[in-house]
Amino acid sequence: MYGYHYGFYGFDWTYILLIIGMLLSLAASAKLKSTFARYRRVRNASGLTGAAAAARILRAAGITDVQIRAIPGSLTDHYDPRTKTVSLSQDIYGQTSLAAVGVAAHECGHAIQHAVHYVPLELRSAIVPAANFGSTLSWPLFLIGLIAGIRPLITAGIVLFSLAVLFQLVTLPVEINASARALRMLQSTGILGTEETGGARRVLTAAALTYVAALAASILQLLRLLILAGGRRNDD
């Protein structure tokens, strides 16, 4: 019966999966912004800026070949293993808040992962090209295959999108581990006390939730592709 796979009266019920994923991502993003806004107003007792905290952590870890630089934007902080550079945004680089040193420490956590050859980080770096390729071509191939009834294109689209999901899956433990390293270093280097570390932990936990939401949204999207592909198979 028409509508069994695509909902009643032609409505594609699988859009519900997209909506759920979108709501999860929005909720995680809102949580991060509110938590960051709260702790960016709390000055750390050591008075160190994000850049100074990053420098202290890298020295304590015995890392001398990583540069620290300021970049524009908000929450655009990242570590680039290709150039060995910790890039800190305006809200982090020169600020002395708990949020600033927490985020800076997190990026240094990635630098430490790189230095010790942390396997999940190396795996993530290795699959970046494939994940980018998959996320770009998966939907065009899938839609063409679905409309034209070309099964190999549908399968190719699903396989390529799976690579993007794999990237999200590998990213999650990388981010959680970087935060764990960051919190340990913040305390062991004396940048934050025990009570202050709780604030940094809340910021980093909120950031981790955005990666959890991204993974959940990707899995729901993959599930939708599989459902649509199954419906097309039954229609053949």
Q: In what order do the strands lie in the sheet with 85-88?
A: 67-70, 85-88, 78-80
Residues known to be catalytic? 107
181: DSSP letter: H
Mean pLDDT of the chain: 92
Residue 97 contacts residue 46 (beta carbons within 8 Å): no
Question: In the predicted model, what is the mean pLDDT of residues 94-122?
Answer: 97
56: DSSP letter: H
148-151 long-range contacts, Cβ below 8 Å, gap at least 24? 149/232, 149/236, 151/233
Question: In the predicted model, what is the mean pLDDT of residues 170-186?
Answer: 97
**Cα→Cα distances 221→8, 31, 72, 185, Å:** 21, 22, 32, 37
Phi (first) and psi of residue 121, to 5 degrees: -65, -45
Question: In the predicted model, what is the mean pLDDT of residues 176-192?
Answer: 97
Distance CA 134, CA 164 (A): 6
Q: Count the residues in the chain.
A: 236
Question: In the predicted model, what is the mean pLDDT of residues 164-192?
Answer: 97
Distance CA 160, CA 127 (A): 12
Question: In the predicted model, what is the mean pLDDT of residues 193-219?
Answer: 96
pTM for the full predicted model: 0.89
**Cα→Cα distances 208→7, 13, 43, 44, Å:** 35, 30, 22, 22
Does pLDDT of 7 surpass 70? no
Domain residue spans of the chain = 14-235
